[in-house]
Structure 1
Amino acid sequence: MTSNQIVVINAGSSSIKFATFDFNTSLTKTMHGSIQNINSAPIFKVVDEQGNTLTKEEFSADHDYGYFYELLLSYFAKSGKKAALIGHRVVHGGMHYNAPVIVNTPIIQDLKKLIPFAPLHQPYNIQAIEIIQSLHPEITQVACFDTSFHRTHPAVADRFALPREFEAQGVHRYGFHGLSYEYITQKLLELSPDSGKQRVIVAHLGNGASLCAIKDGKSIDSTMGFTALDGLMMGTRCGSLDPGVILYLMKFKKMDYEEIEKCLYQQSGLLGVSGISNNMQILLEDPSITAKEAVELFVYRLYREIGALVSVLGGLDVLVFTGGIGEHAAEVRENVCQHLAWLNVKIDAAKNLRNQPVLSTADSAIEVRVIPTNEEWIIANHAYGLYLKQ
């Protein structure tokens, strides 16, 4: 028997990640998977929610993206799970799109204007929408933006000290990881109803990493700015950097745009400092000096930025760790919380080692939690809600 499904797609430069959810209010996740290495040695893999591999196929690199989107939708149909609605993660929504939207041609054209602000992600997000629109125009598609949650920032938080003409052209801070922060905010409200009126900092720590300051349920500041390169040290991204370094690399090292982009996005962060890996777990287990220095710098940048956001919030009530590192790296959480002792942050060491949902002790002035993020679910939820309102 065929069942309608909501398909969530996260399209990248060399991969397509996806998940399916039941087309009803339960939004039960039914399967997930990816198509990896599209430009070199494509692998299509689907896994059910019990962890069983449903299919794993290898393909030659001479297939284009259109082939794989058709493959994906055909697979769902043959599996009895018809794609009735598709929700897309779109990195950039600019200042105009402060909520998810059902996609049409004028909106696609609008989103293309934002490509210069997110050239490594936006083109592939849009490409996915356009290909599916051409293959299956009958399927409703919804765009959910990583920037939307941060449109509640005060203007001063997003302004650069540059000539006004650049701000008018869109050069200011946007913030990212918004879908993750939106999910955590909703989940936190379920777990602790008072959180809707509290001062919260969420640390989304994975290969990409950022912090968000949330007051009364709304984002008021974030460490990521004009691009997802800003803020915290990340797996392969440098985070905040003196702009003078870029000028130095251009003038004295004769590096061009492509070389600098590759350095800042792919060769820096944990990988660049350690010279070993962008994987935090590998570095925590590595005894070398460079591995320890990379972890040390990651933690230092993290608690320094938390301190800044505490000032913006005027205090702190709840600290939430999420993302791959945030949810699983007990040593990172412990080191960060030790450096927040001035805020009277206290965590239970045993609970921290077990990645328990609540880490703080009874006498801690600040509640410290671990909440797994679920960007796929928040996209499915938005898509379903908009579909019902049509």
Structure 2
Amino acid sequence: MKAIVALNSGSSSIKFGVYRLDQDHLPVHSAGGKIEKIGIAPAMRIATDDGEVLLERAWPDGAAMTHSDLLDILFDWARDHVEDHAIVAIGHRVVHGGTRLVAPERVTPALLDELEALSPLAPLHQPHNLVAIRSLARLAPDLPQVACFDTAFHHDKPALASRMAIPRALHESGIRRYGFHGLSYEYVASQLRQIDPEMAQGRLIAAHLGNGASLCAMKDGRSIDTTMGFTALDGLMMGTRCGRLDPGAVLHLQTQLRYSAQQVETMLYTQSGLLGVSGISSDMRELESSPEPAAREAIDLFVRSAAREAGALCVALEGLDALVFTAGIGENAPAVRAAICARLAWLGIDIDAASNAAGAPVISTAQSRVKVRVLPTDEERMIALHTVRLLYGDPS
């Protein structure tokens, strides 16, 4: 009896899923959860699909606990949890695969070196993805590990969608628009093929709205264009990231205000977005409950950013048939969904207020020219499926 663990290791959190494999090697979710507030006061919560809490643990004085320390604890729990199922592999989300890595790969020392070289392109994510891989290699050196790349879903988008208007030699050296959140978009596309094939085949924008946020334009379940580009800074305003920004502003910071490259990077990645505009928080829930005008301004700017980018993707799609909201804000913030759809009403979007407030699967009215869904994402399941396919072939 076999099991695998899927890991999504970020800068301050680790999401994970444990999957038992059935006789056909199909992954069956057994438990999952999240470790939050790493570096501050870590807290772990693990539950089954039906909400049964299997473990809750917190370390109020655990600011010094590292990702590696917490992964030790998680891996010990996972081995105990699966009991008679042997853990046979670990799958990982890796944010940046560059130009070469367009499909999941088994981790080797050479692959780790290649991924390390890409860390400057995803400084908030890639180093923590690799820490998880190295930590598990230390804990279980003979256990296969599989890297699944967030850029892979976008690798075959139209050539023009990967270009920036820079010298050709720079493009050919790898400075191009990659796109991210690919595991989330791949999951959304796969689910739509099952529950709403007509929507899956149409002109679709998927909105992955969370602390990291992006939009993806799809036709027939394939990426046509996306808002993130060379790095995960581009496109939508996010929790702490700026989103689309005039490059001249960066030049001004460096030449006139004498910011160092490190100061610019810190500001763009960790001090901007909802946090920077509000001065209060990067958490949409806190901003929605705040009476401060700056909180309202941050939400309004987020909505404007999402609607503006969606309008641009309609050009790439030559119209729009469907819109899907997913990820933390997309799944759980009905007021934000309603505000974005109101700005896109010119496309023929008409939202049913009661359905939207309830988070129903379909929140558009029967009269709406564009069908609008709310669809929870599951990046860990995509990691599990990719891991199984690489090791055992396609279980379907």
Structure 1, 276-285 or 328-337: larger mean CA deviation: 276-285
8 A contact 1:195–1:217 mirrored in 2: no
Matched residue SS, 1:28: strand
Question: What per-residue deviation string (whole Å, max 9, x for no partner) do you get for residues 60-109 of structure 1?
Answer: 56665544433332222233254221110000111211111222233222
- Show the 5 A alignment for 1:137-148: 137-148=141-152
Unaligned segments of structure 1, at least 5 residues: none
What's the counterpart of residue 75 of structure 1? 77
The one-letter code of the counterpart of 2:55 is: L
Cα distance change of structure 1 residues 325 and 39 upon mapping to structure 2, 3 Å threshold? closer
Cα distance change of structure 1 residues 125 and 363 upon mapping to structure 2, 3 Å threshold? same
Cα distance change of structure 1 residues 252 and 133 upon mapping to structure 2, 3 Å threshold? same
- Show the 5 A alignment for 1:158-169: 158-169=162-173
Equivalent-residue separation in structure 1 for 2:353 and 2:160 (angstroms): 39
Equivalent-residue separation in structure 2 for 1:132 and 1:249 (angstroms): 40
Is 1:152 aligned with 2:160? no
Is 1:364 aligned with 2:372? no
Unaligned segments of structure 2, at least 5 residues: none
The one-letter code of the counterpart of 1:388 is: Y
Is 1:105 aligned with 2:109? yes
Equivalent-residue separation in structure 2 for 1:290 and 1:220 (angstroms): 35
Picking from 242, 249, 253, the partner of 1:245 is: 249
8 A contact 1:4–1:84 mirrored in 2: yes
Equivalent-residue separation in structure 2 for 1:330 and 1:42 (angstroms): 29
Question: What per-residue deviation string (whole Å, max 9, x for no partner) do you get for residues 290-341 of structure 1?
Answer: 1221111111111111111011101111110111111121111112212222
8 A contact 2:349–2:369 mirrored in 1: yes
8 A contact 2:45–2:53 mirrored in 1: no
Matched residue SS, 1:22: strand
The one-letter code of the counterpart of 1:72 is: L
Equivalent-residue separation in structure 2 for 1:357 and 1:104 (angstroms): 41
Is 1:23 aligned with 2:25? no
Question: What per-residue deviation string (whole Å, max 9, x for no partner) do you get for residues 11-66 of structure 1?
Answer: 23444332211123553322223444554555554444424142525375666554
Is 1:201 aligned with 2:205? yes
Structure 1, 372-381 or 25-34: larger mean CA deviation: 25-34
What's the counterpart of residue 224 of structure 1? 228
Structure 1, 200-209 or 153-162: larger mean CA deviation: 153-162
Structure 1, 237-246 or 159-168: larger mean CA deviation: 159-168
The one-letter code of the counterpart of 2:201 is: K
Equivalent-residue separation in structure 2 for 1:344 and 1:243 (angstroms): 34
What's the counterpart of residue 316 of structure 2? 312
What's the counterpart of residue 56 of structure 1? 57
The one-letter code of the counterpart of 1:299 is: V
What's the counterpart of residue 262 of structure 1? 266
Equivalent-residue separation in structure 2 for 1:292 and 1:376 (angstroms): 33
8 A contact 1:48–1:54 mirrored in 2: no
Structure 1, 156-165 or 103-112: larger mean CA deviation: 103-112
The one-letter code of the counterpart of 1:89 is: R
What's the counterpart of residue 115 of structure 1? 119
RMSD (CA atoms): 2.1
Equivalent-residue separation in structure 1 for 2:347 and 2:336 (angstroms): 18
Identity across aligned pairs (percent)? Answer: 48
8 A contact 2:204–2:320 mirrored in 1: yes
Structure 1, 376-385 or 332-341: larger mean CA deviation: 332-341
8 A contact 1:236–1:278 mirrored in 2: yes
Distance apart, 1:188 and its partner CA: 1.0
Number of residues of Structure 1 aligned to a counterpart in Structure 2: 388
Equivalent-residue separation in structure 1 for 2:66 and 2:333 (angstroms): 38
- Show the 5 A alignment for 1:166-177: 166-177=170-181
The one-letter code of the counterpart of 1:268 is: S
Picking from 373, 392, 396, the partner of 1:388 is: 392
> Structure 1 length normalisation: TM-score?
0.93
Is 1:89 aligned with 2:93? yes
What's the counterpart of residue 33 of structure 2? 33
Structure 1, 283-292 or 84-93: larger mean CA deviation: 283-292
Cα distance change of structure 1 residues 309 and 91 upon mapping to structure 2, 3 Å threshold? same
